[in-house]
Amino acid sequence: MISFLTHWPARISFSLLALFLCTISVCVAQEQSSKTVPRGGCPDLIELIKELTPAVVNISIERHMLQHSSTEPPPLFRSKPGALEDQSRTKDRFQADSVGSGFFCDTQGHIVTNAHVVEGAGKILVTLSTGRVTTARLVAVHPKVDLAMLKIASSSPLQKAKIGDSAGIQVGEWVVAVGNPFGLGRTVTVGIVSGKGRFLGLGPDDNFIQTDASINPGNSGGPLFNMAGEVIGVNTAIIASGKGIGFAIPSNYLHELIKLPTNGEFAVRGWLGIYVEDVTPEQAKKLGMGTPRGTWVDEVLTSTPAQNAGLKKGDLIVDADGKQIKNGRHLSKVISSFKPGDILKMKVIRGRQQQAVDIVLGKSPE
């Protein structure tokens, strides 16, 4: 955390310089030729931000299944638990608090966010720009990309974000990211579209917008606006080893999400009923692995699909649905593609022997 604090002043200076140069360049361009004005112009960011932020919300959740840290940095914004992560684990290993972002897509309380933000959530809390905190429920999940829709109850109309056409964006146009990085609500950063159609290997429908607007864990699910105040992307991923390399799901996928049934049909996912812990490099070496893979069963809850199938503490899950399991998060992602009642075929190592286990998945308890 200290390293972040020591770098903030420099980042702020560069951001102010960038905005100052942007203002100068636009003014000069307007005097010389209207053809060189940036697409959509470069409006007063203060007024634009005042207009946009009421539509953005902070999301915090409690997860049913606590998964210990992966051995490698996750590429997705997996809702960083916070600075007191280690302490909270020792105090209460049955609950994991995490944060993310979202925005209203209509005035009736429907909120767009990333599916991974609310994956495995037992309780979802939404904080509005007014400071009001309310519970939300998951009502739809996009079948192809990392998008989900929540719903809150509201007695009065809410301010919605305008959805833009991501097909028309151009590399070099200015964008604004609004979100909840590290729990710092309604943080605003500015950058440009750095690339289009990026494939990250996260799924067959990868088609990310690349931006250098500063986004961090907790920005997941937050909007990426163009200078017309339209959402042209949903901030989703970063390259952990890079700087200023963020990715957003194009807004045109939102039309598919909004059309999905909101009766919860897509929100119900399969559940095992276990706590897991990833394989450490030291353990991998003892097991003769080149790199750590798989995830240990740390605890099996009573009266759950895992217990009914005979899973035991100390089992090493190495395969699920024919996929070699990398870590606990990978296992969670595989399970999330199944529904209650589906049979999940797994391979576990118990002692020194590999065993096949078929599990009839259940529904996560509320």
| Annotated catalytic residue, options 98, 220, 251, 364 | 220
Q: CA 95 to CA 172: how far, in whole Å?
A: 43
Is 116 in the active site? Answer: yes
Is 146 in the active site? Answer: yes
Q: CA 103 to CA 53: how far, in whole Å?
A: 9
3-state SS, 282-347, equals HHHHHCCCCCCCCEEEEEECCCCHHHHHCCCCCCEEEEECCEECCCHHHHHHHHHCCCCCCEEEEE
SS3 53: helix
Tally Cβ neighbours within 10 Å of residue 323: 11
How do beta strands 96-104 and 162-163 pair?
Answer: unpaired
Q: CA 200 to CA 239: how far, in whole Å?
A: 9
Tally Cβ neighbours within 10 Å of residue 30: 13
* Distant-in-sequence, close-in-space partners of 313: CB < 8 Å, separation ≥ 6: 297, 298, 299, 300
| Annotated catalytic residue, options 60, 64, 146, 251 | 146
Is 336 in the active site? Answer: no
Residues written for the chain: 366
CB 61 within 8 A of CB 97: yes
Q: CA 86 to CA 80: how far, in whole Å?
A: 12
CB 223 within 8 A of CB 234: yes
| Annotated catalytic residue, options 64, 110, 116, 142 | 116
* Distant-in-sequence, close-in-space partners of 252: CB < 8 Å, separation ≥ 6: 165, 166, 167
Q: Which residues are catalytic?
A: 116, 146, 220
